[in-house]
Structure 1
Amino acid sequence: MGCGSSHSYQAEVLQTWDEVKKTVQSRPHKGKLVVRRSGWKTVRIFVSSTFRDFHAERETLVKEVFPDLRVWCEKRRLYLVDCDLRWGVPKDTTTEETLRTCLGEIDRCYSDNIMPFFLNLTSPETHTLLRFVCERCGWIPNRNEVPQSVIEEYRWVMGLSVTEMEVIHGAYRVDNPNSLFMMRNAKFLDSVPEEHHPVFVDPNPIAADKLKMLKDMLKNKFPSDQVGYYTCEFEHIDPDDGRVYLKGLDKSFRDQIFNFFKKRISQQYPLEEVTTDPYKHAQESHESFMKSRSTMVLGRNEILQKISDYITALL
């Protein structure tokens, strides 16, 4: 499976990033971001990565990192929402709907938190034992697939993958201090059975140069505490769905992410001692519980609409 670099691909990638630099804010955010508040506040964390090859990491986030972080947030009167679009983009949506869903969710993070709490997972290092192998860079839409309205609204840079564009929109253009980039050591492929390498290997020959450039640009743009590295190994194959599971994510991966966002959230939303009426406090707790259970409801749109119409008619 060829994934070797060439000068033509390097030149193409360099040209793309020259266009990216033209869209960077001339006055990015500097200094500490502190928000004074009363009552509960929503904190959104947007997870950006290709999907199939980072299934194990996303499962760790959903089952371990975010539940612990959610409990910690609730003690500070903060409501945590993790934005994992694996379940939020139906397969039958149009290209425009897909692009707007991805970037629009980041817009919601801007709206709620001024600067998005943004997590990107990538694996930019070329595998060392198998020649001409690199990992996935994601879907790269062509000019005909990106509507002009999306290009103008989001300053879309042609040649970028959707995942790269999420990085640009959510972090790179604004020097986002709430962004964390976790880079997986590609040597884990040594432990993955060869028949499952296609899950992780990108057949697109430009992928190697794109991932190398992305890694270099992030390292040069952001301080070291915003660029983390982790290692992992093959664990097993799920017999039901064929997904690859990895081990070794408990410390180098899980703890780095938890500690980073705990620090950033506490700095942006410092804990304030407030005297709250016990009935008001109970009401807020119920509202937080309701939000935590209703945000991830998917499907059953007709039933939900009937309920909404019925309640509205009573008002």
Structure 2
Amino acid sequence: MVKKASDLFNSNLDNYTEEILRGKISVECPPTAKIVRIFTSSTFTDTRHERNYLMEKIYPKLKEFCQNLGYEFQVVDMRWGVRDEATDDHMTTELCLKEVDLCNKISTGPSFVTFLSHKYGYRDLQREIEAGEFEKLYDAARTDKVKNLLSRWFTRDDNSVPPTYILQPISSRIPEFISEVEDEKSKAKNLWNSERDEMRQGLVQAAQQILDSESSHKYVRSVTETEIDRGLINGENAVIQNIRDYQLKLAGYAFSLSECFGTEEYIQESHKLLTKLSEQKLRSKIPTDHILTYPIHWTNKGIDPVSDKAHKLYIEKLGNDFEKTIKNVMEAIVQKEVDLINTPLYQEVFQHIIFCQEKCKAFHGREETFHIIQEYMNDPKIDEPLIVHGESGSGKTSIMAMAVKNAWSTEVHQTTIIRFLGTTPDSSNIGSLLLSVINQIRTVYNQDLIKPGMTLKELANEFENTLDLAMEERPLLVVLDSLDQLDITGGARQLSWLPSKLPKHVKMIVSTLPEPEYECFPRLQVSVA
């Protein structure tokens, strides 16, 4: 063994690099830009000093730092305003979540920052509710007033799959909501707020009565928690600032004031939900070594860096710590990416993904063939490789490429090893082919890499052992196209290295020309029943 796979591949690498190594052919090759894009999530009033300081003092430094590394630094802060059209059509939350997803997708390293204080945050009304669930909630609503409001504001859309009830634009029921007359607009806004709160509370009560706690929580939770749930898909890439009375905890990197509006019952419920979010959910997602503590005295104004020197120093230290941490994370990630991307293994995998993508373009037909492949993939009892054979020019390679694409459309957690033999130097020689395939599998499953210099028999044994790494929650598909393109030296086309039986959770598809002079197909007929 020469080095640990974990030295090259771990959760700190960006999603793009991981997906390349797992053989996901839908990734963009190469990525359109090198970007650090961070979504900032928070309630607004109680974290404005922290956010403003970062915006004014720290983000410009991080922008310059990232530029020196060859990256563009971007910050998305939806609290600075959303277009009125989005508010009217209830699209604000959806727009926020799309931005969170975009940051998670394209950002190298840090992608999400949330500032938590004493406010749990605004709780919105669900814009879309599946028809079956909506009708159950409607029937369970406690008052006729709530039912009348739900009937007024929600319209069933049978064109959706499944059918869905959709919350209608505010102006479609209250036209003055988009009036240019400020007094009319204000009254319309107050009317909408009242009716919205009535519906939201009615849906919450009904959901808690007839749904399980997990299903009903979406009607209870705040927009901030919704953003956090989405942003913490990859907890390693999240930064959380969390302020408490007398101390501030910087978790992942977590930031304190009570809910400003609502009944006492609503405020108490918000406090409990915030405590659960901060003390339970986030601590289960964020690494413990990302937690820093700041002792700080609270005032009736909350944080007041203008008149309180200690608060000013706290803001500055928090900003400096934030800057230092993001820089350290970025330096480590960039170095890991450089180490990995410059390896022959990554370049080999990359080339075959590009080739696979090209072969999938404008491919149509062969439904019967793909049905056979799908049946093979879905049958756990089949423990042998699937053989695709046909004359030169019959489209075998395109079929193999599409098989990979179709497999990814049904199994999002799988790892796919793709090799189009003969298209690269390392896929033409049996020794370099097996070394590359074995080390790709071992990298993805976070195992030690093997070193060059093994005999074909040793590589064949190692190949079989490596296939055993597959597991139910992380299945493995190996696709080897054009076995007949292997260099004949070393007896590669005798296929003694190819397993005739596969471990659980492993599927293998191979293709070859059928003519005897290429040796492969006759050997497969003997070794695979």
TM range (shorter): 0.5 to 0.7
Equivalent residue for 2:124? Answer: 141
Q: String of CA shifts for 1:241-283, please: whole Å, max 9, x gaps.
A: xxxxx5234444112221222122223333859xxxxxxxxxx
Q: What are the equivalent positions in structure 2 for 1:1-315 lying under 5 Å apart?
A: 31-33=11-13, 41-91=34-84, 93-94=87-88, 96-113=90-107, 117-123=111-117, 135-142=118-125, 145-148=126-129, 157-171=218-232, 174-187=233-246, 200-203=257-260, 204-217=267-280, 218-230=282-294, 233-236=303-306, 247-270=312-335
Q: Which protein has the larger Cα radius of gyration, Structure 1 or Structure 2?
A: 2
Determine helix, strand or coil for the equivalent of 2:219: coil
CA distance in 2, matches of 1:227, 1:181: 9
CA distance in 2, matches of 1:230, 1:95: 41
1:46 and 1:109 in contact (8 A); partners too: yes
2:110 and 2:239 in contact (8 A); partners too: no
Equivalent residue for 1:13? Answer: none
1:136 and 1:201 in contact (8 A); partners too: yes
Q: TM-score, normalised by structure 2?
A: 0.36
CA distance in 1, matches of 2:114, 2:294: 13
After superposing the two structures, state which structure 1 stretch, 86-95 or 98-107, moved more. 86-95
2:66 and 2:73 in contact (8 A); partners too: yes
1:57 and 1:249 in contact (8 A); partners too: no
CA shift in 2, pair 1:116/1:44, >3 Å: same
2:124 and 2:223 in contact (8 A); partners too: yes
Following superposition, the deviation at residue 91 of structure 1 comes to 4.7
1:53 and 1:200 in contact (8 A); partners too: yes
Q: String of CA shifts for 1:115-153, please: whole Å, max 9, x gaps.
A: 761111112xxxxxxxxxxx21101124xx43238x99x
Q: Where does structure 2 lack aligned partners over 5 or more consecutive residues?
A: 1-8, 18-29, 134-161, 163-214, 248-255, 261-266, 297-302, 340-529
CA shift in 2, pair 1:95/1:170, >3 Å: farther
Higher relative contact order (CA closer than 8 Å, sequence separation 6+): 1
2:122 and 2:223 in contact (8 A); partners too: yes
After superposing the two structures, state which structure 1 stretch, 46-55 or 29-38, moved more. 29-38
Q: Where does structure 1 lack aligned partners over 5 or more consecutive residues?
A: 1-28, 124-134, 189-198, 238-245, 274-315
1:229 and 1:252 in contact (8 A); partners too: no
Q: What amino acid is the match of 1:102?
A: C
Q: TM-score, normalised by structure 1?
A: 0.57
CA distance in 2, matches of 1:39, 1:266: 21
Q: Percent identity between the aligned chains?
A: 23
CA distance in 1, matches of 2:89, 2:325: 33
CA shift in 2, pair 1:96/1:229, >3 Å: farther
CA distance in 1, matches of 2:284, 2:94: 29
CA shift in 2, pair 1:115/1:157, >3 Å: farther
Q: String of CA shifts for 1:185-207, please: whole Å, max 9, x gaps.
A: 3248xxxxxxxxxx932152212
CA distance in 1, matches of 2:119, 2:31: 43
CA shift in 2, pair 1:114/1:252, >3 Å: closer
- Runs of 4+ off more than 4 Å: 34-40
2:120 and 2:273 in contact (8 A); partners too: yes
Determine helix, strand or coil for the equivalent of 2:218: coil
Determine helix, strand or coil for the equivalent of 1:210: helix
CA distance in 2, matches of 1:236, 1:251: 12
CA RMSD after TM alignment = 3.6
CA shift in 2, pair 1:225/1:182, >3 Å: farther
Kindly tell me the number of residue pairs found equivalent between the two proteins. Answer: 212
2:109 and 2:330 in contact (8 A); partners too: no
2:305 and 2:312 in contact (8 A); partners too: yes
